[in-house]
Every structure is written in structure tokens, then in C-alpha cells.
């Protein structure tokens, strides 16, 4: 009999979905926070939950075999000194459509001057606003995993020119050209919108720096739906203040919540959202968990195994 511990503020919702599935040879227990899970973790050989809540419990999980993260960001499991003698599975092929919707909501807001048009309405001004056709614009996507590929597919729908950046530099059918990380400035020079969906790894820290933003130029817009650590925030703030770039859409930051004293709050050419470009829906995670549980029961390789060294 496998013993599953669900650790999440939405633990009951996850449990309800799992009860409906009636998975074989599985007993469930629930905790809404780390404190509640302290005594339950010792008996569990499987854990499903929020990385920040589960990671502090690892040292007490004597029977642990497998952890299914409920978030795409698995950084808490990769902190120095934490054990890695278990299988950690991440979340993929779930958030792509949500993040693509987010990116293009703001991209279209920029191009169709949505806020300025709304201001004209409130001021009872009948004024035509100029705009550009998306098919004449280009987008650069840094990170071509499942999320980046979904954004690329959406861009293709609008007939945009799609360029990409990938550690492997593998060419993809929906991307006209793929650059390596060392070529990021060459990529930035060629696009109107630069989107990052990069994971938080030592290689990606600060990859969006002054040189990249200068290459993007005064007509370029930067969008970050990946991780805040990928951006040199000082360089970004300076680029926005001096209009070295047109604007930015930021869903993630080096420190979250974004401190009230951050200059980003007051810059008129920035859109700030509270790390919600793609939220976790319990039913999606449960679907992924159930398929992995079937593989776990059969002794087969699990989907979306995390490489602790690469941190994704």
C-alpha cells in the first residue's frame, strides 16, 4: 500500500479530485501547511504538493520515494544540502496555453493602445489611435520548452516572425531560427518583443542585462513570465527610466512580493502582475499525478523527472 501525503493550502481540493479517480493501493493524508505535515510525512512514500511547503519536510521523510510538485518552479527542492535520493517530478505541458494568453493579452494591449484608447473614452475624445499589424512584427522567445513552444505557436497564428533561444539550440518547426545563450544580444537586436520563460538556474541568472536591453532598443518590449532571477533589475529599471526600451511586462521578480519601495511600481511604461500569468488548477495537476502514479505502480520511468543538477 502506497501512502500519499498532500501538502498544499488546497489539499482538500486535490484530495477530492483524487478520490474520484479511486487510484488502487493508495492511502491519502492531507496537510495545508508544513506544520500540519510534520507528523504525517514520516509514513509517506509519495508526496504531492507545493515546493516551498514540501522542501522543509524532506529530512523527516524516511520512506520517501517520489515527490510530485504542484508548481513548475521547483527551486526549493534544489537548495544546497537538501537530499536528492528520491524521484522529483515537475509540471509541464499544463501552463503553456495560460502563459501564451497572458503574453498576447499584453502584446495586443501595447499594439492596439488599449489603455490610451480607454483614457480617450473616459475623456470623451474621439481620436483614432495608430497601430501596427502583428504579421509585420517579430518575437524572440528565450526558453523553448513546452511553454515557449506554445507561445511560438500562438505567434505563428498571427503570422509573426518567431525567433528563439535555447540551451541546446535545437531547431524547431515553429521557430525560424534558434540562438544559443551566448547569442542573446543578436536575438534581441532582431525582435520587437523579447519574452523570457527561462527556469531559475545558475546559467540563467542575470542573462537579461544592460547589453541585452540596449540591443532590444527603444522600440522593443520586454516580457518576463519565467523567473525574476534571470533579469538584472537595476539594468531593467534604468532602461525603462531612460526609455532605452519601449516598455516591460513583468510577472516575476527577484524578490516576491515586489517590495513597495521598488521603482518599478511607479514607471508608466511597465505592467506589473503578481506572479499569476499561469495559476495552478488542481484538476490539471491531478491528471498529471494519476498518469505518473500508473507508471510508478508499473515500475516504469515517470514523466517530467527533474534533473537536480540542471534544476529543471
Q: 46-49, long-range: CB within 8 Å, 24+ apart, which pairs?
A: 46/2, 46/3, 46/4, 46/5, 46/293, 46/296, 47/4, 47/5, 47/6, 47/7, 48/4, 48/5, 48/6, 48/7, 48/8, 48/14, 48/285, 48/289, 49/5, 49/6, 49/7, 49/8, 49/11
In DSSP notation, 53-86 reads HHGGGGGG-TT--EEEESSS--GGGGSTT----S
**Which of 72, 38, 110 lies closest to 288, judged by CA?**
72
What distance, in Å, lies between the first and last C-alpha atoms of the chain? 30
Respond yes or no: is residue 186 known to be catalytic. Answer: no
Residue 56, phi then psi, degrees to nearest 5: -65, -10
Q: Could you give the CA distance from residue 171 to residue 192 in angstroms, rounded to a whole number?
A: 21
Q: Which three cell numbers stand for residue 101?
A: 494568453
Q: Which three cell numbers stand for residue 251?
A: 510577472
State whether residue 110 is helix, strand or coil. Answer: helix
Residues 6+ apart with CB under 8 A from 20: none
| Angle at CA of residue 84, ends 79 and 85, nearest 5° | 160
Catalytic residue among 87, 205, 210, 275: 275
Positive or negative CA dihedral for 104, 106, 107, 113?
A: positive
Q: Could you give the CA distance from residue 174 to residue 164 in angstroms, rounded to a whole number?
A: 10
Q: Could you give the CA distance from residue 68 to residue 48 in angstroms, rounded to a whole number?
A: 5
Provide the 10 A C-beta neighbour count for residue 145.
17
Respond yes or no: is residue 227 known to be catalytic. Answer: yes
Catalytic residue among 227, 246, 294, 310: 227
Report, as residue numbers or ranges, the catalytic residues. Answer: 227, 275
Amino acid at each position: 500500500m502506497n501512502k500519499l501525503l498532500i501538502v498544499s493550502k488546497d489539499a482538500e481540493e486535490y484530495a477530492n479530485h483524487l478520490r474520484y479517480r479511486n487510484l488502487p493501493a493508495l492511502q491519502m493524508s492531507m496537510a495545508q501547511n508544513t506544520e500540519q505535515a510534520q507528523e504525517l510525512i514520516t509514513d509517506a512514500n509519495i508526496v504531492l504538493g507545493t515546493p516551498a511547503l514540501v522542501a522543509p519536510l524532506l529530512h523527516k521523510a524516511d520512506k520517501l520515494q517520489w515527490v510530485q510538485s504542484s508548481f513548475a518552479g521547483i527551486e526549493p527542492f534544489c537548495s544546497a544540502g537538501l537530499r536528492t535520493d528520491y524521484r522529483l517530478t515537475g509540471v509541464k505541458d499544463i501552463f503553456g496555453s495560460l502563459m501564451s494568453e497572458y503574453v498576447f493579452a499584453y502584446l495586443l494591449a501595447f499594439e492596439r493602445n488599449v489603455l490610451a484608447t480607454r483614457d480617450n473614452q473616459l475623456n470623451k475624445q474621439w481620436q483614432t489611435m495608430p497601430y501596427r499589424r502583428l504579421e509585420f512584427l517579430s518575437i524572440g522567445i528565450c526558453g523553448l520548452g513546452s511553454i515557449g513552444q506554445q507561445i511560438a505557436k500562438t505567434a505563428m497564428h498571427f503570422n509573426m516572425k518567431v525567433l528563439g533561444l535555447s540551451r541546446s539550440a535545437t531547431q524547431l518547426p515553429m521557430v525560424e531560427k534558434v540562438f544559443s545563450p551566448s547569442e542573446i544580444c543578436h536575438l534581441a537586436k532582431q525582435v520587437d518583443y523579447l519574452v523570457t520563460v527561462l527556469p531559475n538556474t545558475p546559467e540563467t541568472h542575470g542573462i537579461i542585462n544592460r547589453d541585452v536591453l540596449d540591443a532590444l532598443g527603444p522600440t522593443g518590449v520586454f516580457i518576463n513570465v519565467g523567473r525574476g532571477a534571470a533579469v538584472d533589475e537595476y539594468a531593467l529599471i534604468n532602461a525603462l527610466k531612460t526609455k532605452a526600451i519601449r516598455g516591460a511586462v513583468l510577472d516575476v521578480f527577484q524578490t516576491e512580493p515586489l517590495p513597495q519601495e521598488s521603482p518599478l511600481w511607479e514607471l508608466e511604461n511597465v505592467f506589473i502582475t503578481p506572479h499569476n500569468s499561469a495559476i495552478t488548477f488542481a484538476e490539471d495537476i491531478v491528471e498529471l499525478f494519476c498518469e505518473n502514479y500508473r507508471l510508478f505502480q508499473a515500475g516504469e520511468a515517470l514523466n517530467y523527472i527533474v534533473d537536480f543538477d540542471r534544476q529543471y
